[in-house]
Amino acid sequence: MRYLWSVMTVQENRFDFTAFDADAVLSWYDQHARKLPWRARSPELAPAYHVFLSELMLQQTVVATVIPYFNEFIRRWPDIHALAAADEDDVLRAWAGLGYYARARNMVKAAQEISRALEGRFPQTADELIKLPGVGSYTAGAIAAIAFAQPAVVLDGNIERVLIRFAGIDQPKKLVRDSLSERYLSVLPETRRSDFPQALMDIGAGICTPKQAKCDICPLAAGCAARRLPNPEDLPVKPVKPAKPVRQGEIYVITHPFNQILMTRRAPTGLLGGMMGFPSSGWDKSHHDQNLLAALAGTRKIRLPQGFSHIFTHFRADMEVFHIQVSASWQPPENYSWADINPDDWPTFFRKAWQQAESFLKNVGGDQSRSFKDTP
């Protein structure tokens, strides 16, 4: 009976934020705010460039991963003009490991627009910010709110979870996002509009986490509907995710005696667009380059004992890795070139292939006549 009463109470209070205590949220933030390199200490506002960089990096990426990348970008490109003048290849190499490389290319384009067309002045409203390349509605709202204290909607995963649990909303997030936007603005205080979304982010990251709701230390506990449920962690309602489709592919790791590796620049759009990578096929619905296959005629292609899997947003790639050692006199066809072996500069996908090849080469001690399965 207690459980049924709790559910009925939650449903009756759905979308009810009258007990939401913004002052309690901000008081908690004053004591417990995370120290992040892109933040400013209240009442100061963080530089717009810092917020811009961090928010683009944080898309689909956790804070702990972003921090060293953010620090390195600030060291190399300390302001919007420096980033606008940067070589895109240098930016992509510095981005390697963060994934979703279109973010980096769009970041450079946005920096160029701000630096040149806007003379270094950041747009201050979400409506203007969203016009920049790579800036969606969430990122525009976050920059407007955090850098300029604008009354913009900021709904990342942490904030959505806090609001949904507070009101006991038992519907999938995508069905209530518009309503959440309205409720967010209804509880947004007149002052400290920069601190407020950051405070909710920190509550979601450290207290109201996906797997554990630490209600006893939450500043919103007194009015929270989910706290009265047996398992607050059941909210938000989790949609059923279909299994990711699987694509099969091959990747060639081609080396020559001078300790270099063959690479090619990928098409500017699509998966890993514009990045340097190894010849490959299948995973991106491509086929091996016939010119490359012709140039490799007569060379020995060795299938490595282990391949690897890599998760992309919409599919899983299961890859076979092949190693090919060519002679010092072998000449690559057009659009291919020799490069130094610098895995830190490569996307994780190609780094995984190299790890398999490197392990193989160490195990065989350079003798490729060992009894691994060959393919013609």
Tokens 């090849």, residue? 357
- Taking the C-alpha atoms of residue 348 and residue 62, their distance in angstroms, rounded to an integer, is 16
Instruction: Write out the two tokens for 371.
Output: 């009894």
Give Cβ neighbours of residue 66 (< 8 Å, ≥ 6 apart): 54, 57, 58, 98
* Residue 323: closest CA among 289, 258, 283, 279: 279
Q: Which tokens belong to 272? A: 């890993």
Maximum alpha-carbon separation in the chain: 81
190 touches 20 (CB < 8 A): no
Q: Is residue 55 flagged as an active site residue?
A: yes
Q: Which residues of 26-64 are buried (b: 16+ CB within 10 A; e: fewer)?
A: bebbeeebeebebbbeeeebbbbbbbbbbbbbbbebeee
- The one catalytic residue in 12, 44, 55, 119 is 55
Q: How many residues appear in the chain?
A: 376
Active site residues: 55
